[in-house]
Structure 1
Amino acid sequence: MAEFDLKRVTPLEWAGVGAGALAFIVSFFPWYSVSYAGFGESLSAWNTGFLAWFSVLLLMAAGGLVLAPHFGTKVDRLPLIWLVLAAVATVFILLRWLTLPDDGGLGDLGVLGDSGFESGAGFGLIVGLLLGIVSTVAAVLTFRAAPKPVTGYGQNPTVA
């Protein structure tokens, strides 16, 4: 097993690892909140549905895979795998936000009267979306910088 060296982890890799770790932490914060007449309830990512909790797992997996080569585990096509995991997680979080039950701002506009009803995305969901975007951007930059196989006409791309 290879020795782990903090100096060999690039800033982009730290972004991916940090996004995965922080996604786990904010998954316990409110992702959806409802309040009525001063009484409120909130749900974490683990109670908000598949799109929420699965996206957290995807970001955590991406962070773990980014660290794996630093512990001596070879991961083929790591930049591509990281990019797919982070992008899918980001899309899932965005879809979860768009599909949450919401009063549509009617409580804020007074259409419902002064009912005191409010609902919407919580702090955890907003931060989770930002973490997904950070991981996706870092993955895109890493993918673009990764060496591409050079092949000519009639050559097998798997043979170096």
Structure 2
Amino acid sequence: MDLTKLGRTERVLAIVGLLAFIDSFLPWYSVSVKGELAAMGGVGGVSGNAWDVGFWAWFPMLLLLAIGVLVALPAVGQNVSVRGGYAAFGAAALLATIIVLIRWLTYPSVPAEEAALIDAGADFGTYVGLILGIVATVFAYLGFTAAGGTLNNIGAAFQGGQPQQTGYVPPAEGYVPPPGGYVPPAEQPPTWQQPPQQ
């Protein structure tokens, strides 16, 4: 595995994919019993991970994992072209984020008459999943704009031509620094000697 073949955006998206898979095993929804009822029953509460909560929890995490795998494949020598490139990754990440948000808003709530005894709602896995979706969406957008894409021409990223013409394609040999290091142009004075602007 050669991580030098991945840029910063690919590394972040790959890490988000891995964290999303791990997050799917964290508690997403919890129910806890309060007060004397908990002491009498000896049960404090239960929680369920994304796999327990259902499709609307585990599917977005697998979507983020798929994005992470696709952008990490060049590190193991497999180049994959995805039509739309970062635009497609951004759309998938945004979809995952929206699904997690909808799942959070549609969790069952406790009826008012039982609220004094039972507490139920989203657990930290839901919040982590939402944050991971937002991070993936932002970095996919940054990768899209760094490759020259804009929101005005996002549709062009999905039309004809090379499938990943608007996405980042890492060089096959990885990053190679220029020979002799960086040398600033001779005709440009250092910043502290810039002529006054008029």
TM-score band w.r.t. shorter chain: 0.7 to 0.9
Query: Would you say 1:78 and 2:85 are equivalent positions?
Result: yes
What is the CA-CA distance between 1:137 and the residue it aligns to?
0.3
Write the letter of the residue equivalent to 1:99.
T
Counterpart of 2:72 (choices 67, 70, 87) is 67
For structure 1, list consecutive stretches of 5 or more residues without a partner in the other structure.
107-111, 149-156
**1:1-160 paired onto structure 2 within 5 Å:** 4-37=1-34, 38=38, 39-70=44-75, 71-76=77-82, 77-103=84-110, 112=113, 115-147=116-148, 158=161
What is the TM-score normalised by the length of structure 2? 0.65
- Post-superposition CA distance 1:27-61 (Å, at most 9, x none): 11110001123331101000111110100110000
SS at match of 1:158: coil
- Post-superposition CA distance 1:136-160 (Å, at most 9, x none): 1000111112246xxxxxxxx639x
Report the CA distance shift for 1:145/1:123 in structure 2 as closer, same or farther (over 3 A). same
What is the CA-CA distance between 1:102 and the residue it aligns to?
2.0
Write the letter of the residue equivalent to 1:98.
L
Contact conserved, 1:33 with 1:41, CA < 8 A, in 2?
Answer: yes
Q: For residues 47 and 88 of structure 1, what CA distance do their matches in structure 2 show?
A: 21
Contact conserved, 2:23 with 2:129, CA < 8 A, in 1?
Answer: yes
RMSD over aligned CA atoms reads 2.3
Q: For residues 121 and 45 of structure 1, what CA distance do their matches in structure 2 show?
A: 11
SS at match of 1:72: coil
Query: What is the aligned-residue identity percentage?
Result: 42
For structure 2, list consecutive stretches of 5 or more residues without a partner in the other structure.
39-43, 150-159, 163-198
Contact conserved, 2:27 with 2:124, CA < 8 A, in 1?
Answer: yes
What is the TM-score normalised by the length of structure 1? 0.80
Deviating above 3 A after TM superposition, structure 1's stretches of 4 or more consecutive aligned residues are: none
Contact conserved, 1:20 with 1:59, CA < 8 A, in 2?
Answer: yes
Larger Rg: 2
